[in-house]
Amino acid sequence: MQLTKNNLQEKQTHIYDAIVVGGGAGGLSAGIYLQRYLLSSLIIDKGKARSFWMQELHNYLGLPSDTPGRVLLQRGKEHYASLDGDFLNGFVEEVRDEGETFAVLVKVGRQKSIQAVFRAKYLIAASGIIDYLPPLDDLRNVYEYAGYNLHVCMVCDGYEMTDKKCGFFAGSEAAIEEMVFNLSWFTAYITIFTHGAFAVNEALKEKLRNHGYPLIETPIKQFLGQNHQMTGVELADGKIIELETGLISMGSCYHNTYLKEMNLELKGGNLVTDKMCRTSHPRIFAIGDLKVGLNQVIIAAGDGALAATGIWREIRRTRGARLWSKNLLKEQVED
Ligand SMILES: Cc1cc2nc3c(=O)[nH]c(=O)nc-3n(C[C@H](O)[C@H](O)[C@H](O)COP(=O)(O)OP(=O)(O)OC[C@H]3O[C@@H](n4cnc5c(N)ncnc54)[C@H](O)[C@@H]3O)c2cc1C
């Protein structure tokens, strides 16, 4: 059921088996598995998932390779709703551990927002990350191309960049070190842009020179192109560099602030989990991009299945096997 400001009152006294923070690929997959295990679940999502920015999902088994992320999300939401899962558009501000349950504090509504508190035995953190983009004065110019042929993920889209003139938009020296030479697996025609935001040491400059990769340290004025296809960049000095594709590597924002009181084990901003996606807290699971691992839709969906199954196993063991009472009564009568 879709919860709104008008009908969430009654749900605030219910104790869910699990609350899932985030309704992207991972969270929806977890919700579908939880409901199919006959558990009660609530997905709380603030919207604009990373998968929403994915214009074409090229590498997911069984889907046409031009499937937009928003279609995947819409289908996932419909599937979850068909299983009677509860869904709320809201922003999770804080989670408090009450011992047997978690209290999840949510801000609902952008204007005239209200605070609501929901409770669950388990929590699944599926709130993902979001990529930092080149900080141009006109960010709409970046959105025009980001997710189309201006990519953010080499694993997702390296194949699309094969042997194309590629701009590498770096957020740090480390990003150049870690990514550029791997990117050359797909294309050797790489130009690196620092946007004038950081200095590059001499050893790295020489390594780039030795590979034939130009380094451009002048700030970028704007991306050029049309119909969402980026064809180059104009620099602040007016010079134009022609490109056929691009990869942004400027780091990410981790959506984990609501968990800060939990003191969970982290690696960078990612949550550390075991093979069933359980974090260092026994009743908190983390899935998808937020946990340590590969940031891919197929992994997020698989993680959702693992976390939901881990939760089901524990609840099932606590409750024990159900009795077929009629047969037991019959046996008693026969005795
Ligand atoms: C442009 C682009 C192209 C990509 N291409 C591919 C591709 O081709 N193939 C591929 O496999 N992967 C691709 N990816 C990666 C893929 O999108 C992610 O791996 C996937 O979306 C991760 O799913 P997730 O459920 O972990 O996170 P998300 O899909 O990001 O979902 C997390 C959700 O949690 C919500 N949320 C965050 N904080 C809160 C909060 N406090 N309260 C409530 N809700 C919250 C977010 O708003 C979001 O809706 C691409 C990503 C981008 C950006």
Q: For 162, left (φ over 0), alpha (ψ -120 to 50), or beta?
A: beta
pLDDT at 71: 95
Predicted TM-score (pTM) of this structure: 0.95
Mutation test residue for ligand 1: of 20, 44, 48, 54, the one with most atoms within 8 Å of CB: 54
Q: Which atom of ligand 1 is nearest to the CA of 58?
A: 8
Question: In this structure, which residue's CA is closest to atom 37 in ligand 1?
Answer: 127
Q: Where are the alpha helices (DSSP H) in 94-196?
A: 139-143, 154-157, 173-175, 181-183
Q: Which atom of ligand 1 is nearest to the CA of 50?
A: 30
Q: Own/partner pairs for 242-245, CB < 8 Å, 24+ apart?
A: 242/165, 243/165, 243/166, 243/167, 243/191, 244/149, 244/164, 244/165, 244/166, 245/149, 245/150, 245/151, 245/160, 245/161, 245/164, 245/165, 245/166, 245/167, 245/187
Distance between CA 182 and CA 278 in Å, rounded?
Answer: 31
State phi, psi for 44 to the nearest 5 degrees: -115, 125
CB 173, CB 198: distance < 8 Å? yes
pLDDT at 334: 72
Distance between CA 223 and CA 232 in Å, rounded?
Answer: 6
Partners of 168 in the beta sheet? 192, 247
Q: Which atom of ligand 1 is nearest to the CA of 26?
A: 25
Ligand 1 interacting residues, C-beta cut-off 6 A: 21-27, 44-51, 53-54, 57-59, 91-92, 126-128, 131, 147, 152-153, 156, 255, 258, 288-290, 295-298, 300
pLDDT at 3: 95
pLDDT at 113: 93
What residue spans in the chain does CATH classification 3.50.50.60 cover? 2-130+252-319, 133-249
Nearest to 13 by CA among 87, 130, 103, 132: 103
Q: 133-249 adopts what CATH topology?
A: FAD/NAD(P)-binding domain (3.50.50)
List, as one string, the DSSP characters of 243-290.
-SEEEEE--EEE--GGGGGG---EETTEEP--TT-B-SSTTEEE-GGG
Residues 6+ away with beta carbon under 8 Å from 199 = 173
Which tokens in the block code for residue 156?
Answer: 């997702």
CA of 220 to the centre of ligand 1 (A): 27
Q: Average pLDDT per run of 10 along the chain, which is 335 residues long?
A: 90 96 98 98 94 90 93 97 98 97 95 94 98 94 95 96 98 97 98 97 98 98 97 98 98 95 94 98 98 97 98 96 91 73
The amino acid occupying position 207 is K
| Residue 279: strand, helix, or coil | coil
CA of 270 to the centre of ligand 1 (A): 14
pLDDT at 330: 79
Architecture of domain 2-130+252-319: 3-Layer(bba) Sandwich (3.50)
Distance between CA 303 and CA 25 in Å, rounded?
Answer: 10
Q: Which atom of ligand 1 is nearest to the CA of 29?
A: 25
Half-sphere exposure of 269 (CA within 13 A, CB side): 16
